[in-house]
Structure 1
Amino acid sequence: MTIRRHRRLAAALTALVALTATGGCSAKAGSGDDSGGRGADGVTTGTGVDARTIRLGVLTDMTGVYATLGKSVTQAQQLYVKQLNAAGGVCGRTVELTVRDHGYDPQKALAAYTELEPRVLGFPQFIGSPFVAAVERRVDGRDKGLVLPQAWSASLLGSPYIRVIGSTYDIETINAVDFLLKEKGLRKGDKLGHVYFEGDYGENALKGSTHAAAKAGLTVVQQKIKPTDNDMSAQVAALKQAGVKAIVLSAGPRQAASLTGVAAATGLTVPVIGNNSAFAPQLLATQAGPALERLYHVATPSLPIGAATPAARKLVADYRAAHPQDALDNGVVAGWTSAQVFGEALKRACAAKDLTREGVSRALLTLKAHDAGFGMTHDFSDPGAPSSRESAILRPDRNVPGGAVVARAPQVSEAARAYTPEG
């Protein structure tokens, strides 16, 4: 599916959302959540906020292709909100999260957004670039609630209300290819395989690999797949036949395990690097575990959960206390960081005595050097730019918390620094 065709699909889905949301205005007016005025404390409030409560929505995937990460992201956000409320909340109000699992199904995702939008101030989580893109016009044109997606497509840049945390997939992929060139033996004239999901995520990452390849004198061998494709045998066979010297993977954890495991079993022992959502430490307990530790890396917008920073150590201890039976992974970092950014915007909006949707979005613009404690500083002053261009490169390691160690510290490559994302 081309980007243009995908955007036509997104526009059609947006129209469908509008048609199915005819009760949205009446629901908003009758819910009691939209006070539409200034309270006794002098704070102006709107949808999702009253004198006692700030209501936020979470649109996640706990049963689909990103089930493992979605669970971690959500539980980390619930932990953040619990601690925030224990410290007094925001503006004397308790923060509440309402969670909906869409299972990475477009109809469920759009239905969940339509259900929650009239009742919440905004969304500190929305998993799925295609689904976020499908509601972008509605968010920008009418709803105006802040959305912090667990998605990094450059197509989301430019919205004053949908804000990408960290580098977009194209920039992240350019940094990943730079790592392959500088540290994994990839050279000018080599062929680089790229296995990617159809749609915004994969095709935006493909822009990054083709840009990096053009700069470095590489040839990209493409293999487009669907999110439901879990067996990568055909893709590995094609890439082996083409003679690739390295592989970029822009898919999910299941595809990472299959591709790396099959490649190792068939003698295609080349380095493989995935985008940030293409790894979960639970993979290390599968048959593909040894191959992942030997061949695989992942580019991410933060240090891993097992990093030696005070913030990481505290988050590990707190998360383990709250969820002793659950594994640690980078979804915990991503969820915590997103909730923390939203929480900081709420605090600044409170200081400005404006807890309306527009007030919270304006408050986020003042967050120019936010450090979540995981190795990167984020600047949210420009809606047309990602908050960072840096990527850390991680290597799977079953012996550390979170199953990954730092192979290369956070940095932005020269190619990524000079690159202009296309929103």
Structure 2
Amino acid sequence: MTAREGRTRTRTLTVTTVAALLALTAACSSKAKDEGGDDKQSAGGVKTGQGISGKTIDLGVLTDMTGVYATLGKSVTQAQQLYVKQTNADGGICGYQLKLTVRDHGYDPQKAVAGYTELSPKVLGFTQFIGSPFVAAVEKRIGQDKALVLPQAWSANLLGNPYVRVIGSTYDIETINAVDFLMKEKGLKKGDKLGHVYFEGDYGENALKGSKFIADKAGLTVVEQKIKPTDNDMTAQVAALKKAGVKGIVISAGPRQAASLVGVAAAAKLNVPVIGNNSAFAPQLLATQAGPALEKNYWVASPSLPIGADTPEAKKLVSDYKKAYPKDSLDNGVVAGWTAVSVFGEALKKACDNKDLTREGVDKALLSLSTFDNGFGVDQNFTDPKAPSSHQSVILQPDKSAVGGTKVVRDPSEAAEAKAYTESAS
């Protein structure tokens, strides 16, 4: 059984919501594709197709500027805009200037699908698509359209499609690494109960698979608390977890939910370590009433070193981003956005060398990228669409004195249970 076949696709958040919209828009999308999909040959002998017009490569961005992940979505997008500006100033790629077309879906399923339907016929690919459930809702169409998508989403359910590439470890593997940290460094032990608060849908339920796997191996009992993205007050969840006697908590949700969970737990005297998946923190939270509790009792699993990493590449990005956006704060969304667009840029460069800048050519170029590290500590391998580009996680701790609001407390690593999980799913 393959990893792809072994994963149950639970997409409760969006499937029923978007079904009618998909049916209505598919015909329009197909027509647009038929009208604009002819391959062309440039003067330099490079084959081109959809998303390239004149001397411009058009790339799509489907982001969240106004919803659950508004803060991170803004950082991801601005980092990608910075990359495009700098790349174009240096002459572009293959003689072409890059252009980003941005659509804000506000973490709304209908807007996300509508945005994909609008942009897919027009762009070469997507440097960003926030929301595992939304990517999953159009995944079949992505395979048909052959426009490369680099999602800001880490659900293992997205693996297997050659045109969707997960950058970094998936939520299940990341959660295993997170719980391993709680056991090795925060006192969680065999026989204990582990709370897990998670979003319904692909993100949370894939993370839950990870916590259940390591719980089974380590002799823990998982106490589940399923929530919706619109649930911002975690009082009821904290009360239930305290009553159950949990000794540690994983949260697979957004920054708002994490802040509420940690703050309410502190007020309720539930003094246990809490660790979140990579999208469950924003440094702006440190300025809220939950700030002291987050610094004391909260950790985050990340697919890379943070924006404040002590590397030349990180320091340059901090300097450049501050100059470009002096009024905006730094967070790890900057790293995520910069990494994704850099990966896409690398694929474009390789496709140019191969004389094939069609959608299929760009995807083939990415398949040849066996090692990629843009200075944030984790080597990425994109040669296997059935696997994430990495199985490692960095453990971060909120710290308002650190650049970007987090500091590294455990360097990139993969838990033994994560290796066993990967092997059992293959």
Does the TM-score normalized on the shorter chain lie above 0.5?
yes
Residue equivalent to 2:412: 410
1:148 paired to 2:153: no
Residue equivalent to 2:225: 223
- 1:5 positional shift: 5.3
Query: Alignment partner for residue 83 of structure 1, among 77, 82, 86?
Result: 86
Q: Given that residues 196 and 249 in structure 1 are in contact (C-alpha distance below 8 angstroms), is that contact kept between their aligned partners in structure 2? A: yes
Q: 1 CA distance for matches of 2:146 and 2:34?
A: 16
Residue equivalent to 2:383: 381
Q: 1 CA distance for matches of 2:32 and 2:408?
A: 48
Q: Given that residues 233 and 260 in structure 2 are in contact (C-alpha distance below 8 angstroms), is that contact kept between their aligned partners in structure 1? A: yes
Q: Given that residues 149 and 163 in structure 1 are in contact (C-alpha distance below 8 angstroms), is that contact kept between their aligned partners in structure 2? A: yes
- 1:19 positional shift: 2.7
Residue equivalent to 1:186: 188
Please state whether the residue corresponding to 2:208 is helix, strand or coil.
helix
Deviations 1:89-119 (A, max 9, x none): 1110101000000000000000000000010
Please state whether the residue corresponding to 1:92 is helix, strand or coil.
coil
**Letter matched to residue 47 of structure 2:** T
Query: Alignment partner for residue 364 of structure 2, among 329, 349, 362?
Result: 362
Query: Alignment partner for residue 251 of structure 1, among 250, 253, 272?
Result: 253
Query: Alignment partner for residue 125 of structure 1, among 123, 128, 148?
Result: 128
Query: Alignment partner for residue 96 of structure 2, among 93, 98, 109?
Result: 93
Residue equivalent to 1:13: 18
Q: 2 CA distance for matches of 1:370 and 1:12?
A: 37
Q: 1:307 to 1:5 in 2, by over 3 A?
A: closer
**Letter matched to residue 6 of structure 1:** R
Q: 1:203 to 1:90 in 2, by over 3 A?
A: same
Q: 1:8 to 1:76 in 2, by over 3 A?
A: closer
Q: 1 CA distance for matches of 2:234 and 2:205?
A: 18
Deviations 1:238-285 (A, max 9, x none): 000000000000000000100000000110010000000000000000
- 1:6 positional shift: 2.2
Q: 1:94 to 1:286 in 2, by over 3 A?
A: same
**Letter matched to residue 52 of structure 2:** V
Q: 1:5 to 1:35 in 2, by over 3 A?
A: closer
Q: 2 CA distance for matches of 1:9 and 1:131?
A: 7
Q: 2 CA distance for matches of 1:407 and 1:278?
A: 17
**Letter matched to residue 95 of structure 1:** L
Residue equivalent to 1:138: 141
Q: Percent identity?
A: 71
**Letter matched to residue 29 of structure 2:** G
Deviations 1:112-149 (A, max 9, x none): 00000010000010000000000011111x20100000
Residue equivalent to 1:276: 278
**Letter matched to residue 76 of structure 1:** A
Q: Given that residues 39 and 51 in structure 1 are in contact (C-alpha distance below 8 angstroms), is that contact kept between their aligned partners in structure 2? A: no
Deviations 1:59-78 (A, max 9, x none): 00000000000000000000
Residue equivalent to 2:76: 73
Q: 1:22 to 1:149 in 2, by over 3 A?
A: same
Please state whether the residue corresponding to 1:370 is helix, strand or coil.
coil
Number of matched pairs: 419
**Letter matched to residue 22 of structure 1:** A
Residue equivalent to 1:199: 201
Q: 1:211 to 1:62 in 2, by over 3 A?
A: same
User: Which residues in structure 2 correspond to 1:31-70 (within 5 Å)?
Assistant: 34-70=37-73
**What is the CA RMSD across the aligned residues, in angstroms?**
1.7
Q: Give the alignment's TM-score, normalised by structure 2.
A: 0.95
In the alignment, structure 2 segments of 5+ residues that lack a partner are 1-6
- 1:361 positional shift: 0.4
Q: 2 CA distance for matches of 1:422 and 1:138?
A: 26
Q: Given that residues 193 and 223 in structure 2 are in contact (C-alpha distance below 8 angstroms), is that contact kept between their aligned partners in structure 1? A: yes
Q: 1:7 to 1:236 in 2, by over 3 A?
A: closer
Q: 1:259 to 1:375 in 2, by over 3 A?
A: same
Q: Given that residues 378 and 392 in structure 2 are in contact (C-alpha distance below 8 angstroms), is that contact kept between their aligned partners in structure 1? A: yes
Q: 2 CA distance for matches of 1:407 and 1:349?
A: 38
Q: 2 CA distance for matches of 1:242 and 1:422?
A: 31
Query: Alignment partner for residue 397 of structure 2, among 395, 398, 412?
Result: 395
Please state whether the residue corresponding to 2:138 is helix, strand or coil.
helix
- 1:40 positional shift: 1.7
Q: Given that residues 35 and 49 in structure 1 are in contact (C-alpha distance below 8 angstroms), is that contact kept between their aligned partners in structure 2? A: no
Q: 2 CA distance for matches of 1:106 and 1:137?
A: 16
